[in-house]
Amino acid sequence: MSNLSVVILCGQSPRHLYFANALCKACNPKAIIQESGHDKPFKKILNLLLHPTKLWQKIWRWLRDRKRYTGNKEAKFFFGEKPPYLERLDIRKEVPHINHPDVIDIIDQHKPDLIAVFGTSLIKGELLDKGRLGIINLHGGLSPEYRGADCTFWALYNQKPEKVGCTIHYINAGIDTGNIIAHVSPEIKDNDDELTLFWRAVRDSTDTFIELLTRLEKEAVPGVRQTHKGTLYQVKDRTLKHEKKLDALLQNGLLKNLNLNKRIVWFTSQKN
């Protein structure tokens, strides 16, 4: 267990709760900050009504995800038969968005050694300079090749299952462009799909993040600078056409007989 003081910024899905619970057991947690997503709702609704294409994309994604997540599959993966829960409700704070002034106030109050991030919107402005050791993110893709959203999907769509995984990296002003600390790739099984691979990568990456806390307590871990931009995938890039192609690839044996076990690569020295 690490003695580092940590503020955790995370989402509210079962995978985010799992991450927060695991980190709380492995360090000295000061606060868990979650964004409600309720900031300026009328402005967001008006924007969607004025842009029918964006509205349709939003509706289609909601319908797609509702079908994919039916049966509480994510909750069962991370919590078994128990309902998803956050163990340290006593230190939980909810804010409208992650760059809200209240977040700065909480961090300034606790002055944590580290800020750990998983599943929030883009961090900007003053928050980027907080944390004695900086801000470290768990990103659901292998940066820099896979930055942004739905990275597990795109690695499979590109027929590169070996590129499925997560990156632990420092946060800077870009999107998944900070110094890389580790790549974590999950075991791949014949009957896997996008979601089981993503969830397994998150679970494995949480263990690696905990190991990182111990390393940070002993020595500086600067990571390695990203030397190229790779590809930035956005939510809007994923369409029904892409969904159908991946379904066909999986049905035709994309993941058969790969024999890929869990792989962890640490990037521990700065390269200029």
Question: Mind listing the domains of the chain with CATH numbers?
Answer: 5-266 (3.40.50.170)
pLDDT at 220: 87
pLDDT at 268: 78
Sorted by sequence, the CB contacts under 8 Å of residue 22 that are 6+ apart come out as: 206, 207, 209, 210
pLDDT at 63: 66
pLDDT at 236: 87
Sorted by sequence, the CB contacts under 8 Å of residue 257 that are 6+ apart come out as: 190
Which residues of the chain have a pLDDT value below 70? 37-58, 60, 62-69, 269-272
pLDDT at 45: 63
Cβ atoms 95, 35 nearer than 8 A? yes
Kindly report, residue by residue over 9-57, the tens digit of the pLDDT: 999 999 999 999 999 999 999 999 999 865 555 666 666 566 666 666 6
